[in-house]
Amino acid sequence: MPKQKINQDWFKLDNSAKIFPSVSNSSETNTFRVTVTLKEEVNVELLQEAVNIILERYPMFKVRLKKGIFWAYFDYNSKPFIVQKMDHRVCGEIIPIENNGYLFKVLYHHKDIAIEMFHSLADGGGVMQLLKSLVYEYLLLNRKPVTPDNIIATKNDKPEFEEYEDANAKYYNKKNRKHIPEEKAYRVKGTYLDDDQTGLISGVLNTKQMLELARKNDMTVTEYLTSVMMYIIYKTQIQYREHMRSNEKPVKIFVPVNLRKHFPSKTLRNFTNFIKTNMRMDKPDISFEEIKVLVKEQFSQGIKKEELIRKMSENVAFEKNVFLRMTPYFLKNYVLKIGFNMLGIKLNTMSLTNIGRTVFPESMKPYIYDVTAAIYAGKFNTIGCAIVSYEDKFKITFTRSIIENQIEREFFRHLTSQGLDIEIESNYVEEYS
Amino acid sequence: MKYCNKCHISIKTNHNYCPLCHQTLEVTKDEEVVEKYPPYQGKLRPVKDITRKILMFISVTSIILLLVINFFTGLDILWSLIPIGSILYFWILMTVGIFSKHNIAFKLFILTITLIFFIYMIDELSSSEGWALNYVAPLLLGSCIIAISFIILIKRINYRDYITYLLLIVLFSIAPIVLILFDVITVLWPSLGLFVLAVFILLFIIFFFPKSIKDEIKKRFHA
pLDDT (tens digit per residue) in A333-367: 888 888 888 777 888 999 999 999 999 999 999 99
**pLDDT above 60: residue A35:** yes
How far is Cα A46 from Cα A142, in angstroms, rounded to an integer? 7
- Within 8 A of B19 by CB-CB distance, chain A residues are 201, 405, 424, 426, 428, 430
Question: Is the separation of the CB atoms in B32 and B14 below 8 Å?
Answer: yes
Helix B159-173 and helix B137-154: axis angle, to 10°?
160
Taking an 8 Å cut-off on Cβ atoms, the answer to whether B44 and A196 are in contact is: yes
How far is Cα A72 from Cα A22, in angstroms, rounded to an integer? 10
Give the CATH number of the domain where residue A108 resides: 3.30.559.10
A208 shares a domain with A148: no
A210 shares a domain with A136: no
Taking an 8 Å cut-off on Cβ atoms, the answer to whether A431 and B7 are in contact is: no
Question: Is the separation of the CB atoms in A78 and B158 below 8 Å?
Answer: yes
Q: Select from A10, A88, A424 the Cβ nearest to the Cβ of B219.
A: A10
How far is Cα A394 from Cα A389, in angstroms, rounded to an integer? 4
- Within 8 A of B21 by CB-CB distance, chain A residues are 409
Give pLDDT tens digits for A51-106: 999 998 898 899 999 888 888 999 888 889 999 999 988 999 998 888 889 999 99
- Domain end: A115, A137, A163, which one? A163
How far is Cα B83 from Cα A304, in angstroms, rounded to an integer? 66
Count the neighbouring beta carbons within 10 Å of the beta carbon of residue A193. Answer: 19
pLDDT score recorded for residue A3 = 43
Burial per residue of B115-131, b for 16 or more beta-carbon CB atoms within 10 angstroms, e otherwise: bbebbbbbbeeeeeeeb
B128 shares a domain with B26: no
Q: What are phi and psi of A25, to 5 degrees?
A: -155, -165
Q: How many domains does chain B have?
A: 2
pLDDT score recorded for residue A294 = 94
Q: Is residue B59 part of a domain?
A: no
Asked if the interface predicted TM-score (ipTM) of this complex is over 0.90, the answer is no
Rounded alpha-carbon distances, angstroms, from residue A66 to A5, B102, B220, B223: 20, 12, 9, 14
Q: Is residue B153 part of a domain?
A: yes
Mean local confidence (pLDDT), A131-155: 91
Q: Is residue B85 part of a domain?
A: no
Q: Is residue B202 part of a domain?
A: yes
pLDDT score recorded for residue A1 = 37
Owning domain of residue A155: 10-163
Picking from B118, B164, B116, B170, the residue whose alpha carbon sits closest to that of residue B142 is B170
Beta-carbon pairs below 8 A across chains A and B: 102
Give pLDDT tens digits for A154-179: 888 888 878 888 888 888 888 888 88
How far is Cα A411 from Cα A232, in angstroms, rounded to an integer? 6
A298 shares a domain with A344: yes
Summary mean pLDDT of chain B = 88
Question: Is the separation of the CB atoms in A355 and A128 below 8 Å?
Answer: yes
Question: What is the rounded end-to-end Cα distance, in angstroms, of chain B?
Answer: 57
Q: Where are the beta strands (DSSP E) in A207-271?
A: 251-258
Q: How many domains does chain A have?
A: 2
B18 shares a domain with B116: no
- Within 8 A of B168 by CB-CB distance, chain A residues are none
Q: Select from B9, B38, B220 the Cβ nearest to the Cβ of A87.
A: B38
Q: Is residue B61 part of a domain?
A: no
Q: Is residue A176 part of a domain?
A: no
Taking an 8 Å cut-off on Cβ atoms, the answer to whether B20 and A66 are in contact is: no
A139 shares a domain with A47: yes
Percentage of residues in chain A with pLDDT exceeding 90?
56
B25 shares a domain with B135: no
Owning domain of residue B214: 100-221
Give the CATH number of the domain where residue A331 resides: 3.30.559.30
- Domain end: A163, A188, A212, which one? A163
pLDDT score recorded for residue A4 = 47
How far is Cα B113 from Cα B148, in angstroms, rounded to an integer? 14
Question: Is the separation of the CB atoms in A257 and A272 below 8 Å?
Answer: yes
Q: What is the DSSP string of A192-211?
A: BPPTT--EEEEEEEEHHHHH
How far is Cα A350 from Cα A214, in angstroms, rounded to an integer? 21
- Within 8 A of B7 by CB-CB distance, chain A residues are 409, 412-413, 416, 424
- Within 8 A of B15 by CB-CB distance, chain A residues are 428, 431
A220 shares a domain with A85: no
Q: Is residue B121 part of a domain?
A: yes
Q: Is residue A181 part of a domain?
A: no
How far is Cα A321 from Cα A35, in angstroms, rounded to an integer? 38
B110 shares a domain with B16: no
- What is the residue-level pLDDT of chain B in tens, covering all 223 positions? 899 999 899 999 989 899 999 999 999 888 888 888 998 887 766 666 788 889 999 999 999 999 999 999 988 888 899 999 999 999 999 999 888 878 888 899 999 999 999 999 999 888 878 888 899 999 999 999 999 998 888 877 667 778 888 888 888 888 888 888 888 888 889 999 999 999 999 898 888 888 877 888 888 888 7
Q: Select from B38, B45, B158 the Cβ nearest to the Cβ of A88.
A: B38
A159 shares a domain with A18: yes
Q: Is residue A273 part of a domain?
A: yes
Q: Is residue B137 part of a domain?
A: yes
A115 shares a domain with A234: no
B104 shares a domain with B35: no
Summary mean pLDDT of chain A = 90
Question: What is the rounded end-to-end Cα distance, in angstroms, of chain A?
Answer: 49
Q: Is residue A44 part of a domain?
A: yes
How far is Cα B208 from Cα B160, in angstroms, rounded to an integer? 13
Quote helix, strand, coil % in chain A, to nearest 5.
Answer: 35, 25, 40
Picking from B150, B143, B129, the residue whose alpha carbon sits closest to that of residue B193 is B143
Q: Is residue A182 part of a domain?
A: no
Q: Specify which residues A31 forms β-bridges with.
A: A118
A137 shares a domain with A36: yes
**pLDDT above 60: residue A2:** no
**Pairing assessment for the beta strands A383-390 and A350-357 based on DSSP bridges:** parallel
Picking from A78, A51, A55, the residue whose alpha carbon sits closest to that of residue A66 is A78
